[in-house]
């Protein structure tokens, strides 16, 4: 074996650790994100340093960061909705506080939102729901209790969401705890079950 071939072979060996130039820590390879453009196939900086650099970049250029987020959300609407749902499900109280703050700061937009929802209800069909029906639903167990993790007060949820063409009637209403109601969003029941199965497989 020639000296040149030996050096080539050594260069191709997968080194189990790598030094991050940001924190100067010697870390295992899985501490770095993948980057196919680089020779070793890994990002130059470790994941925490990348996050810190991103935070500093966003703080230095807030408008550019907002524009980048808007462009990403426009290009990835389903992923953006999924991230929002996961964030609300993980922090229900924080999500409710944010909604309350938005309502207080945007009373006119909130009124318009209510008008649009009322119009959709009317188009989908509105049937009589008695106070007794609502009391029964409020006292019922969460319909998604079999999924586990129930948390928060009971909400009255539309099985087929108003936004998906569901009517406002007792046949389309169910009881859900706050956590599962926020997590469900505007999904259909079959979509909720499929999502839960994917999470179980991933776990």
Last residue of a domain, one of 51, 75, 99: 75
Mean confidence (pLDDT) of the chain: 85
pLDDT band at 5 (very low <50, low <70, confident <90, very high): very low
Residues 185 and 90 grouped into a single domain: yes
Q: By mean pLDDT, which of 3-7, 105-109, 118-122, 182-186 is the weakest?
A: 3-7
Q: Residue 98 is part of which domain span?
A: 83-202
170, 135 Cβ separation under 8 angstroms: no
Would 160 be classed as within a structural domain?
A: yes
Task: Assess whether pLDDT exceeds 60 at residue 13.
Answer: no
pLDDT value at position 110?
79
Residues 102 and 198 grouped into a single domain: yes
Task: Assess whether pLDDT exceeds 80 at residue 187.
Answer: yes
Nearest to 195, CA basis, from 69, 113, 81, 94: 81
Would 1 be classed as within a structural domain?
A: no
Residue 25 has φ and ψ, to the nearest 5°, of -95, 145
pLDDT value at position 60?
92
Number of domains in the chain: 2
Residues 35 and 68 grouped into a single domain: yes
Residues 109 and 45 grouped into a single domain: no
Q: What is the pLDDT of residues 83-137, one digit of tens each?
A: 888 888 888 888 888 888 888 888 888 777 877 788 788 888 888 888 899 899 9
Residues 101 and 189 grouped into a single domain: yes
Task: Assess whether pLDDT exceeds 50 at residue 46.
Answer: yes
Task: Assess whether pLDDT exceeds 90 at residue 1.
Answer: no
The token pair at 131 is 């106070």
How far apart CA 57 and CA 39 sit, in angstroms, is 25
Residues 137 and 158 grouped into a single domain: yes
β-pair type (154-158, 26-28): unpaired
Nearest to 26, CA basis, from 34, 15, 13: 15
Residues 29 and 116 grouped into a single domain: no
How much is the pTM? 0.50
């Amino acid at each position: 074996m020639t000296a040149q071939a030996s050096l080539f072979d050594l260069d191709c060996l997968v080194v189990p650790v790598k030094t991050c130039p940001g924190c100067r820590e010697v870390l295992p390879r899985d501490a770095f994100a993948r980057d196919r453009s680089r020779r070793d196939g890994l990002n130059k900086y470790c994941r925490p340093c990348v996050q810190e650099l991103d935070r500093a970049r966003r703080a230095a250029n807030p408008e550019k960061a907002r524009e980048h987020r808007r462009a990403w959300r426009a290009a990835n609407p389903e992923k953006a909705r999924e991230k929002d749902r996961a964030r609300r499900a993980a922090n229900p109280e924080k999500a409710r506080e944010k909604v309350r703050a938005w309502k207080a700061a945007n009373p006119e937009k909130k009124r318009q939102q209510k008008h649009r929802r009322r119009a959709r209800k009317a188009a989908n069909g509105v049937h009589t729901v008695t106070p007794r029906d609502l009391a029964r639903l409020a006292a019922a167990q969460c319909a998604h209790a079999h999924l586990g993790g129930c948390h928060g007060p009971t909400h009255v949820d539309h099985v087929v969401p108003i936004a998906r063409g569901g009517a406002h009637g007792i046949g389309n209403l169910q009881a859900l705890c706050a956590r599962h109601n926020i997590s469900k969003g505007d999904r259909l029941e079959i979509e909720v079950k499929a999502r839960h199965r994917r999470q179980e497989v991933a776990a």
